[in-house]
Structure formats: structure tokens, C-alpha cells
Structure 1
Amino acid sequence: MEETLPPDSAGAWGVSASTSLEAYRALRADRSRWLPIALDIARGRGLDTSSPHVFSTGTNLVVGLGEKLILKIFPPLLRAQFVSERGSLTQLAGRLSLPIPGIVAEGMRDGWPYLIISRLAGTLGSEVWPQLAEAQKERVLRQIGETIASVQRAPLGPLAQIQPRWDDFMRAQMQGCKARHTRLGLAPKFLAGLDDLLRDAAKLIPMDAPPVLLIGEYIPENFLLACTNDEWSLAGLFDFGDVLAGWRDYDLLGPSAFMAAGRPGRVRNLLEGFGYAQLDFTLKRRLMALMLLHRASDLNSHICIEGWQEQADDLVELQELIWPG
């Protein structure tokens, strides 16, 4: 549904914010420029705008409308995220035991697509995770592994056509891998092993296997937790803006880097929940390759093992550190 701006806010998004990522980020940082438009969209839908809550994290413009709904607005230059989110929520609806947002309405405001989705109950994972006891972290990681497997059992449907194709994506990532990690400051002792790892990756990573739905970011910022009888559990999953269709192991990288911290019990629970009974050298090597090839890969920022740069002398030792056992 295409909507037009009311006369008093015509052109408020700004042409540059529709076409320039830098200009869009400036718009996003100044809620006074976009929140009135968001609230006008909500009012036009007959929704309660008396107590809006702006979410400061994430990429898009997101505002909570009371306790039940969220309005998520996507700039035109990130339209692919809108297509991804809408397609994923539609395809996964009713197929998971874990709550995900439901689409209540969708539309367009002056070329900017938006979704109105249901708001999930729970506490943001990033707020809770650091304080959890080790046994609770293992429990949650097993549930994350189970959730990844459950998502991947869902039929792809129209998402099978999402771009880029897995083989094209992987080959492009391989081609730019060394330059990327050199630019990001990966230590020379790890860069030295990249060529060997990439040669292995071409054989270890299936390019033509039947693809599954990949969320790409199973990280604490994208899930909710809830506590019952002093036990924390996964309570909801959201943010489906960067989905791919490809090889299943790719989705183990987020929790491996941000949450498992090289702890054997955490790694074991994550992998067993996912369905892997054995962690052998081949699997470690494939995961190490995929971690370096991930679209958001930056080992210096993402591996949450304190002092890991000093604990490993090459990529083989690093994979043993991240996935012990």
C-alpha cells in the first residue's frame, strides 16, 4: 500500500537519506527528524501512539507502540532487508515452537517500506547473558542450537530465490577474504594461514547442497530470554533482515563467536542442540573457514575469548581454541 506524506512533512525523509547510507545514518541518529513521520504512519493505521519507545540499536527505524506492536521502517537503500524480513516472518509463521514476530500490517511511506509486527515478551539477551551462571549459559546455547535446526527444517518457499545465491556469495567472500582481514588488522600470524584455509574451504564448504534458511545473526542482541523458577530460557527470536539460503553450518558462527567463548561445555551444548554429536577436525576447519568468510566477519571485534590473540599461533590453533574438544 503506497501512502503519501501529509503536507506539513512532505519530503521529510530527504532525498539524500533515501540514497546515501551516510545521510540515512544521520537521519536515524536524529529522532526528531523521523519519529513524527513514524507516529503519523501509526495514527493512520489507527494505532496507539501515546507512549512510543524508540529502539536505538539495529539498522532500521524502529519504534515500539505500547506493549503489543512495533513499527519498523526501512530506507529504500536497504529495501532488501525489508524483503528478507517480510519473507522470513511469513515463511516461518506457525512453524516454530519459539515465538517470532507476526506481521500485522505493511505499507509504504514515500518510497520507504515498513512493517507493523507483534512485540514479543521477554528480556533482551544482551542485557541478561553476561550475568548468567555457566550452567544457564550452556542451557541457553543448547536451546539456540535447537532453534537454528528448527528454523532450517522450515521449507524455503519464495526465500529460495533470495540473492545472493550461496555459491556466488561464498566465491565472492573467498575472493575478498584476505584483503578484508588485512584491512581489519588481523595479526600476520593468522593471515599467513589464510591461503591454505581458503583452499580447504573450497572443498569443505558445500556449494551445491540443498540450501536451508540462514538467519546469519544468532547473537544476544537478536533474541529474548525469560526466567521461570530461576531458570533462564530462550523466549523469542527477531530481526530477519539479513537472511540467506545456503549451507547450514553458517548459522553456528554467531553463537560460537559471541557466546561460547571457547568453553567446552558451551560449545558441546550448542553443537548437540544443533544436531552434531561429534566435533572433529573437519568440522572445526569448516567452521573456522566460514567464520572468516561470514559477511560480518571481524575476528578482532567478535571473538569473545579474552587474550585469544596470544593463546593461538596460527589458524589451526585458533580453531582448537574456539571449538575445543
Structure 2
Amino acid sequence: MLLSDLTYEQYKSLNEDSSFWFSKMTGIIKKENLPAGLLTRFSYGSNIVYSYNSEMVIKLFPSYFKNQFDREVEVLKNIESYITIVETPRILSIGSYEGWNYLVMNELKGTLLIDLWDNLTMEEKKEFSIDLGKVMREFHSIPIDIFDKIDVDWSFFIKNQYLNMKANQKKFNLPQKLWDDLEEYVDESYINFNPKLNMLTGEFTPFNLLFIRENNKWKLTGVIDFADSFLGDNEYDLLGPILFIFNGNKETTKSFLISYGFKQEELNDTLRKKLMIYAILHRFSNINYYVSRNTKASNCEGLEDLSNHLFNF
């Protein structure tokens, strides 16, 4: 079956079919005039991504996710000269195969944070939180006039998220005690509808941060996956590390925010409430998941109480 013939439902059902995707990757290798080599599929992520000889990465984009392809290409083409602290992938080739776009990139060396975090010492976790704050500040300092494809009209986007928050949270089965608190808690005045725009990746999570062991310590060395990048309020991008990595740990959350550029006095209830509101309005918001990763949050009686555990600084 040609990729162009796949419906979205067929694509989802075939997602784990290794032989099907292996054949497609083999076809791309031939199209790129590369010799036969070792193909290994990456285990994380929703896209079809393969390693070729541990030297290159081939990332395939379904036609119904063309916006992801456009964003990743634009970001990777433009950010390399601005990012100095970590490595990001370099595009080696851009092509189309059976109607789907693909990228061939160099493969960054390292181990994903998701495979390391539980075994890191607290000292390594704190050092990482400081490094990540600096890395994110550098990403957020990239001038936005070099981008066109990733502008989602932040004002429209966040306003729409606000107006539809009850329907969105209903999809994720927000607990009744939090549901009852929703309209009163989400104060519109905390939402920055017209911020200074920054390039956000939305993906500073354990699945996209690479580490190499240096001098007997793990060091953050690479960032991957820019398919969900967009322009918006920089504080919206802080949710990934705080909710998916630090999980309510005060020491790492605080050191991350200070390293990013916040002053001690800015780590206050106003910032906490804004971040909690953005967590509710986030396009992939899943409050139940955040709570499941934070043992102290499971017995919260309302959103204010919950915010103190999720955004503990």
C-alpha cells in the first residue's frame, strides 16, 4: 500500500507494524542513493523515525501532519547559529516519498533523559535544571523575524483555549472537585494575550533532551524534535520541564527558574497561578497525568491547592 493511500485510521493501525515501515524506509534510502545499512526504529514518539547506521535520522511526516513538517524544517534551518550551549540536528536532505515528506538529519549522540532521570543523583538533577534554564533562555532569545511557518497567532490561540477550556478539560475527565473550581479559578487577567513573542518548542520534555556522560557525570548536550514549535508567551514553555521532569520537586524547579532568569521575588503566587492557568489551557493539557506524577497532589481539594504542589518553588 502506498503511503498516499493511507487514511489516518489506517496509519494509526499500522503504527507498530515494523515490516511495513521498514520497507518504506528502505525505499527512502534507495531514493537518497544511500547504500544498504542498519535501520533501527526509535521507540519514543508518535512519528515514524529511524536511525540509519547510527549516523543519520530519517523522520517521516504523514501528509495530514504537513504543518509539523513545515515547522521542523523552518526551525532547523534557522536556529543553528543562535544555539551554542547544546547541539540540534542538521538537515542533510529533504524529500518526498509516496506523497509523504521526510527529513534526513545527522544523528545526535547521547541518551534520552527519559532513560536516565530515575538514576541521576540529586546533584546531577540540580545541575541539569540549571543547564536547562540556560538552554531555554537561549532558545527564547532567538529573533522571531526569521520565522514564518510557526506563527499560530498566539492571541487567537490562547483566547480560543480560554473560551473552550471546559470542553477541553471534559475530554480528559477532570475530577469533579477540580471541575467545580474551574471557572472561578481561571482568572482571565492572568493570561497574557499580547506578550513579547518567543520561539517555543513546547517539547522540553524527557523524550527530547539528550545527555552524554562526561567526567563521570551526565551532561545535557542535545535537543531534538521541533515539529510542534510556535510563537507565544515564553512562560507557556516552562510547563514541559516543571510538569514532566521536576514533578513538584522544589529544589530543581526553583534552580531551573532562577537559572532561566527569574529573580527570587518573582517566584511568587502570581507566577504560580499563571503557570497553573496555562497548564489548564495548554493544547495538550492533562491534569490527571500531572497529578499521577506527583504523589502529594492526589489529595488536593481544589485548583489553588493543586497549583502549590505542581508549581512548588
> TM-score range with shorter-chain normalisation?
over 0.9
1:73/1:112 contact within 8 Å kept: yes
Identify the residue that residue 4 of structure 1 maps to in structure 2: none
Residue 119 of structure 1 is aligned with which of 101, 107, 116? Answer: 107
Do the aligned residues in 2 keep the contact of 1:48 with 1:66 (CA within 8 Å)?
Answer: no
Checking the alignment, whether the CA contact within 8 Å between 1:91 and 1:156 is kept in structure 2 is no
For residues 134 and 317 of structure 1, the distance between their equivalents in structure 2, rounded to whole angstroms, comes to 26
Per the TM alignment, residue 163 of structure 1 is displaced from its structure 2 partner at its CA by 4.6
Q: Which amino acid aligns with 1:96?
A: I
Q: Take 1:309 and 1:252, find their aligned partners in 2: how far apart are those partners? A: 22
- Alignment correspondent of 2:16: 29
The separation in 2 between residues aligned to 1:32 and 1:324, in whole angstroms, is: 46
Corresponding position of 1:178: 166
Structure 2 letter corresponding to 1:280: N
> Paired residue for 1:241?
227
Q: Report the Cα distance in structure 2 between the residues aligned to 1:259 and 1:67, rounded to whole angstroms.
A: 27
* Matched position secondary structure for 2:83: coil
What are the residue-to-residue correspondences of 1:247-262 with 2, within 5 Å? 247-262=233-248
Aligned to 2:33: 46
Number of aligned positions between the proteins: 309
Alignment counterpart, residue 191 of structure 2, candidates 205, 217, 223: 205
DSSP-derived class of the 1:221 partner: coil
The SS at the match of 2:89 is coil
1:213 alignment partner, SS class: strand
Q: Answer yes or no: is 1:13 the counterpart of 2:24.
A: no
* 1:50-199 correspondence runs (5 A): 50-97=37-84, 98-198=86-186
CA apart distance, 1:79: 0.7
TM-fit CA distance, 1:127: 0.4
Unaligned stretches of 5+ in structure 2? none
Q: TM-score, normalised by structure 2?
A: 0.94
Gaps of 5+ in 1: 1-10
Deviations 1:66-122 (A, max 9, x none): 121111110100111101111111121121121000000101112201100110011
Shift of 1:21: 2.5
Q: Of the candidates 291, 294, 307, which is equivalent to residue 305 of structure 1?
A: 294
Counterpart selection for 2:209 from 203, 212, 223: 223
CA contact (8 A) 2:159 2:193 kept: no
- Offset of 1:215 from its aligned partner? 0.5
Task: Please state how far the C-alpha of 1:233 moved relative to its aligned partner.
Answer: 1.5
Give the secondary-structure state (helix, strand or coil) at the position aligned to 1:29. Answer: coil
CA–CA distance in 1 between the matches of 2:55 and 2:253? 35
Counterpart AA for 1:207:
F
Matches of 1:157 and 1:27, distance apart in 2: 39
**CA apart distance, 1:160:** 4.5
SS for the counterpart of 2:116 is: helix
Identity %: 27
**1:122-164 CA-partner distances (Å, limit 9, x unpaired):** 1111000111111211111221121111101011234355352
Moved more, 41-50 or 242-251: 41-50
Alignment partners' CA distance in 1, 2:147 and 2:18: 33
Compute the displacement of 1:283 (Å).
Answer: 0.5
Structure 1 runs of 4+ off > 4 angstroms?
A: none
Q: Which amino acid counterpart does residue 268 of structure 1 have in structure 2?
A: K
Offset at 1:270?
1.2
Task: State the Cα deviation string for residues 38-69 of structure 1 (Å, max 9, x = none).
Answer: 22211222324321111132122111111211
* Partner Cα distance (1:49, 1:173) in 2: 47
Could you list the per-position Cα deviations for residues 234-277 of structure 1 after superposition, in whole angstroms to 9, with x for gaps in the alignment?
11000111111000001110111111121111111110121112
Query: How does the TM-score come out when normalised to structure 1?
Result: 0.90
Distance in 2 of aligned mates of 1:239 and 1:275: 24
Residue by residue, what CA displacement relative to the aligned partner does 1:19-41 show, whole Å, maximum 9, x if unpaired? x3321112322122232122221
State the superposition RMSD in angstroms. Answer: 1.6
Cross-structure match for 1:282: 270
Alignment-mate amino acid for residue 208 of structure 2: N
Structure 1 Cα separation of the partners of residues 205 and 290 of structure 2: 11
Checking the alignment, whether the CA contact within 8 Å between 1:101 and 1:118 is kept in structure 2 is: yes
Alpha-carbon contact 2:185-2:304 (below 8 Å) kept: no
Distance between the aligned counterparts of 2:289 and 2:35, measured in 1? 40
